[in-house]
Structure 1
Amino acid sequence: MSGLHLRHWPGDADRPALAMHCMMGSGATWGPVAEAMGGRIDLTGFDMPGHGRSDDWMPGAEDPDYFTAVTRLAAALIERPLDLIGHSFGAVVALRIAVAAPEAIRSLTLIEPVLFAAHPDPDQQARDARMAALLDQGDAARAATEFLSVWGQGPAPEAPSPRLMRQIALVAQTGAALHQDSARLLRPDGLEAIDAPVLLIQGGDSPPVVGGIIDALAARLPDVGRATIPGAGHMAPLTHPAQVAGLIGVNLDRA
């Protein structure tokens, strides 16, 4: 894809790392975390299509689904084994890479992964049904506001920008990946093939479904640690960057 905006926070050249942000966010999410890490890793990030400074997502007839496209963009940035970090949807992208190519991963840190197929939850299903109904009615503004009220940082905007209203349509397009596990991340022996240290991080104030997902993933990963950040919600990399950085550092030590 042309128009993909890359971001780089220089650090230890012997410790390359790649980070993926959440839906309706941008690669700038990782700036405060990188600063708190003090150059311990050489961190690369990018703005997913339709986010940040990257071009809008305008797929052609032969293009893959959004989840697959973002995964391929991320995988193309991996030149040697590295530390892989992801938040929310970006964490599921990171997990897909780790399942497909475990040899490419030195450590894996997943913050608030939203692979809902791992833990079907009635409350989340109700939220998804509500968002789908609003989009069917053409009310992208309300759909974006309600989504961000659960998964965003601070009060959700009552009048979302046109960019946010385009992004909520992308969120809806991830349903097959996150709810039906279209990429089969949960297939037998998939998670079990990841032999790098994995750290699962959640916010203490996050929606309960996140804890259920982390329980399900942790039960199958061979080398896994867990951490909860008190007082944090879903957007912990932005609200608690020092704590997130410290936890990533713990996982680096394990690799």
Structure 2
Amino acid sequence: MRQVLALHCMLASGAAWRGVQAALPGAELTCPDLPGHGRAPDWDSGPFMDQALALAMAVAPEGAFDLIGHSYGGCVALRLLADFPDRVRSLTVIEPVMFAAAAADLRAAQRDDMVGFRTALQAGDRDAAARAFTADWGDGGGWDAMAERQRVYIRDRIHLIAASGPGIADDAHGVLDRLPTDGGPVSVVVQDNPPAIVAGIAAGLRARMPQATVTYLGRDHMIPITDASGLAAHLNAIWKDVDPTP
């Protein structure tokens, strides 16, 4: 059985991978909850990515494994690859929000786009902050289309978006300069017709890792949920030439 570590996006949980797991009968996915999500411990107020990486490595399969990460989980996956390159057989990141990888003009535009979110969060208006955030980084359905239980889950955790900021906007952990330029396959998956910042991040990662490829899949940011079968087929295509033994 192929051993896989799968890291979810912010405001979700390890359960976000259920559809992908169901479509991958030949793989065993380990899907930890990141800090403050699901059943994981609350954020400890230290560097968010440090705690996220520690939680992931505490349950990671022994030896080498295939690694997948979505959105912020993709950023933690990039950090894991930089810190523990010998543990990663292959890496697939789905729309990783590693803003620091994009060109300066795209980063500036992204900061401007997030003004409404930051203003609402600073004012303590969690609903407005969640509405602003999910408009750009949701499944396209919007805040009002969500079930109340989902809105409560997101509202209660919306402050964690700001907590994750230094690691992705400023690359506080120096990940980008430490990414390997060889080794196992690296796949960057983005939606069809991605937003400029998403395309810019993919281009920045591709420039830093010559072994990386960029694949277009799905219609929105939440690809592991909205196109689980398509993502599973893509993963199988990557893994067919990767020895699954630890």
TM-score (structure 1 length as normaliser): 0.86
In 1, Cα distance between equivalents of 2:180 and 2:43: 35
Quote how far apart the aligned CAs of 1:193 are: 4.7
Measure the CA separation in 1 of the matches of 2:221 and 2:41: 25
Deviates more, 1:91-100 or 1:70-79: 70-79
Tell me the amino acid that sits aligned with residue 116 of structure 2. Answer: R
| C-alpha contact (below 8 Å) 2:33/2:40 kept by paired residues | no
> 1:56 deviation in Å?
5.6
Unaligned runs of 5+ in 2: none
Match of 1:143 among 129, 133, 154: 129
Q: How far is the alpha carbon of 1:127 from its aligned partner?
A: 2.4
Q: CA deviation at 1:29?
A: 1.3
Letter in 2 for 1:214: A
* TM-aligned CA deviation for residue 207 of structure 1: 2.1
Cα drift, residue 134 of structure 1? 1.1
Identity of aligned residues (%): 34
Map of 2:35 onto structure 1: 49
Cα offset for 1:25?
Answer: 1.1
Say if 1:248 and 1:101 are closer, same or farther in 2 by CA, change over 3 A. Answer: same
Asked if residue 198 in structure 1 is aligned to residue 183 in structure 2, the reply is no
What CA distance in whole angstroms lies between the structure 1 residues aligned with 2:204 and 2:163? 24
Q: Distance in 2 between matches of 1:57 and 1:233?
A: 29
**Aligned mates of 1:65, 1:239 — CA distance in 2:** 31
Q: Residue 217 of structure 1: CA displacement?
A: 0.4
Aligned equivalents of 2:111, 2:52: Cα separation in 1? 24
Please name the residue that 1:27 is paired with.
14
CA contact (8 A) 1:205 1:233 kept: no
TM-score, length basis structure 2: 0.89
Q: Secondary structure at the match of 1:212?
A: helix
Aligned structure 1 segments of 4 or more residues deviating by more than 6 angstroms: none
Partner of 2:172: 182
Separation (CA, whole Å) in 2 of partners of 1:23 and 1:81: 25
Task: Quote the Cα distance in structure 1 between the aligned partners of 2:18 and 2:159.
Answer: 26
Partner residue, 1:106: 89
- Is the Cα contact below 8 Å between 1:21 and 1:90 reproduced in 2? yes
Indicate the residue corresponding to 1:168 in structure 2: 158
Q: Deviations over 1:177-229 (max 9, x none)?
A: 11000011112xx1235511101100114322111100110112142222101
1:1-255 matches, within 5 Å, as: 12=1, 15-37=2-24, 39-52=25-38, 54-55=39-40, 57-59=42-44, 64-78=46-60, 79-119=62-102, 120=104, 121=106, 122-158=108-144, 161-187=151-177, 190-193=178-181, 195-229=183-217, 231-255=218-242
In structure 2, how many angstroms separate the alpha carbons of the residues matched to 1:55 and 1:97? 19
Q: CA shift at 1:162, angstroms? A: 3.8
Q: By percentage of residues, which structure has more helix?
A: 2
Aligned residue pair count: 234
Partners of 1:197 and 1:254 within 8 A in 2: no
Q: Which residue identity does 1:91 align to in structure 2?
A: G
Q: Alpha carbons of 1:178 and 1:247: their partners in 2 closer, same or farther (altered >3 Å)?
A: same
**Alpha carbons 1:81, 1:106 under 8 Å: kept:** yes
**Cα deviations by residue, 1:23-77 (Å, 9 ceiling, x for unpaired):** 011111111111112x22111102222223x156252xxx632111011111222
Conserved? CA contact 2:95–2:190, under 8 Å: yes
Cα gap change, 1:168/1:198 in structure 2, threshold over 3 Å: closer, same or farther? same
Report SS of the residue matched to 1:19: strand
Give the residue type in structure 2 aligned to 1:109.
T
Q: Distance in 1 between matches of 2:179 and 2:241?
A: 18
